[in-house]
Amino acid sequence: MRAVVFHDPGHIEMNAQATVPKVAPGEVLIRVEACGICGSDLHMYRANAHRKELVRVDPEGLEIPGHEFSGVITAVGEGVVGYNIGERVVGVGMGGMADLVPVPVNPFQLVHIPDNVSFVAAATTEPLADGLQMIRKADLKPGDNVVVFGVGIIGLGVIQALKALAIDIGKIVAIDVSDERLAVALEVGATDTINPRRQDLLSTAKAICGFLPISYPEIEPTDISVVFECAGYLKHMTGPVPLESALRLVRPADGRVICFGAYEDRLNIDLMPMITKQISLFGSNGYAAGDLSLALQLMSEGEVDRERLISHQFALADVREAFEAQGNGQAIKVMLIPNQVTL
């Protein structure tokens, strides 16, 4: 079969003679119709970061990435109930950038696709589920102003979910260095945007969200209750890293930072704002049981438009171009399409 193989940073290619996976007990085999390139895949591609967690190693030692995919079940392992050959499913597991991939049957890794949801939209289910968990962790209150730092597929999903769930909050401020992504953020529900390459981040945020009449520990801190930090850290970043900016943005005492973005490497960061303002920093990784189904339900009911976020589609043979497109700063979501005849 055909499969994408990761060799070293910058070296990724399609192998047309990969071994067809065997389906084990408790698994199904999926013919992949669409597989997204995740930000963590980019970290691996650029800096070898998180490599062991992001690939499926086949019997010949080939390292196959891809963990956000959709497709059709072609084989069912012993003991599997509730899933049958021919059914459309979302899969979450490593090795999805291939013609075929095995997936264990459990609510965290496999779920049926509603009939009116396309394969490409369904392949964005996992990132939307990630956003649902972040929102739950944020424990939002009526009137809270929030910031979404980094509006790729994850950050945009947070904004879409905030609107779809009709959460009663104040401002939704999107921050990114890409004007193209910021424009999409406004389309899907952000009230305001900031591009820190062209605007002073703190003063612009204060002008948008207002400030609190507090003189200590910070003079008139910005009235932002929650920052969803979806940007992470890239080695080529200049200026303060997003997490440090998030700590400076959020209000004292009850301010919360939900940290999701992945990190390519260790970094130095000033944590004093967290201490002096006594704010809370929460890590978020993945999603809870049921979030995949809820994400698909929101798509099926027309509450979120995920196809709007698919900016590029590539065949497996063009995987290097696909990764370069995903990393250019303008793309929202790049999809690999292994088995569809037309893109």
CA dihedral of residues 211, 212, 216, 218 (deg, nearest 10): -20
- Do 31 and 312 form a contact (C-beta atoms < 8 A)? no
CB atoms within 10 A of CB 332: 20
Q: Is residue 275 scored above 50 in pLDDT?
A: yes
pLDDT in tens, 48-103: 988 999 999 999 999 999 999 999 999 999 999 999 999 999 999 999 999 999 99
Asked if 3-124+306-336 and 127-283 have one fold, the answer is no
Q: Is residue 246 scored above 60 in pLDDT?
A: yes
Helix/strand/coil percentages in the chain, nearest 5: 30, 25, 45
Question: What are the φ and ψ backbone dihedral angles of 185, each rounded to 5 degrees?
Answer: -60, -40
Bridge partners of residue 147, in order along the sequence: 173, 227
Q: What is the pLDDT of residue 153?
A: 95
Which single residue is written with the structure tokens 């079969």? 1
- Of 3.40.30.10, 3.10.105.10, 3.90.180.10, 2.60.120.10, the CATH number of 3-124+306-336 is 3.90.180.10
Side chain identity at residue 195, one-letter code:
N
| In the chain, domain spans | 3-124+306-336, 127-283
Q: Is residue 343 scored above 60 in pLDDT?
A: no
Q: Is residue 237 scored above 80 in pLDDT?
A: no
127-283, CATH topology level:
Rossmann fold (3.40.50)
What residue spans of the chain are helical by DSSP H?
39-47, 119-122, 125-138, 153-164, 179-188, 201-209, 242-249, 272-277, 291-300, 319-326
The confidence band for 233, taking pLDDT boundaries of 50, 70 and 90, is confident
